Copies of this chain bind each other. A is one copy, B any other.
Amino acid sequence: MQRYFVEQAYTEMVAEGFSLEGEDYHHAINVMRMKEGDQCYLVFQDEVAIKAEVTQILTEKVLLREVAREEQTKELPIHVTIACGYPKGDKLELVVQKGTELGAHNFIGFPSQTSVVKWDGKKLGKRQDRLSKIAKEAAEQSHRQVQPTVTMFEQSALFFESFSGYDQILVAYEEAAKIGEKAQLVRTIQEMKRGQKLLVLVGPEGGFSAKEVSYFESLGAHVCGLGPRILRAETAPLYLLSAISYQFDLLQV
């Protein structure tokens, strides 16, 4: 069943009545060809999701009524932010699409010392919009209750200032995998409690430099290995999110 993320909180919209407008209106009418009596999910900014039924179709608005709350929790108990040093090509698209399916809360791009690609402010804005749209579509398709945010930093310093806002920080570091580091990922995520925030740093193709990793460590980050195989820049975040889901969604039940 189709899923729409609306830009208001449930508590706001319940007062004025549920509706779809703008792009979602056009999607519901022209793509899904919804009629009165058809149902869809509405997901609100406060993580509430409901099953709703179309009651009326107006010129630029679909009106709906609540049928039931969605009871099953679709979200990971911890909030995971995936931060990628800008990789080449369209790898961030893959990370955002798959990472949204796998439960990430936020995506961040930043210029790593080893990033080959340079993005200026205007291009970054466009890219952020495009990636946000990919996140929205993937969130709808994968039945998320949260639409992940995408933030693209032009200067890494501004991003580094935000590190104090996280409960734990992990750095996926190829050199750690090579020397067989195995304990840190398990230790960190098993220590985390519901609602806590995890930041995961993943390098571009060449990996982070040793200097960058030391700097991250000085800001409270822990280096972790992701098994003995060397993963590409865009595969590491998918491994991490899958491992976190396995730990919290399947093992701890």
Q: Which residues of A contact B (CB under 8 A)?
A: 72-74, 98, 101-103, 141-144, 180, 182-183, 185-186, 225-232, 235, 238-239, 242-243, 245-247, 249-251, 253
Contact = CB atoms under 8 A, between A and B. Distances in A.
Contact of A232 (B141, B183, B232, B249): B141
A149 to B, nearest CB: 17
CB-based closest 6 A-B pairs: A242-B242, A243-B246, A227-B249, A239-B242, A227-B245, A142-B229
A182 to B, nearest CB: 5
Given A98-B238, A239-B102, A242-B243, A229 B185 contact: no
Nearest to A187: B250
Dominant SS among interface residues on chain A? loop
| Residue from A144, A185, A239 whose CB has the most chain B CB atoms within 10 Å | A239
A142 B231 contact: yes
Nearest to A248: B227
A5 to B, nearest CB: 14
A238 B249 contact: no
7 contacts: A72-B228, A74-B229, A101-B232, A144-B229, A185-B250, A186-B251, A242-B242
Nearest to A224: B250
A242 B243 CA distance: 6
Given A103-B227, A227-B245, A235 B98 contact: yes
B231 A101 contact: yes
Contacts of A73: 228
A42 B251 CA distance: 38
Given A72-B180, A98-B238, 12 more contacts: A74-B229, A101-B229, A101-B231, A142-B229, A185-B246, A185-B250, A186-B250, A186-B251, A227-B245, A243-B245, A243-B246, A246-B247
A248 B232 CA distance: 20
A18 B239 CA distance: 35
Contacts of A230: 101, 141-143
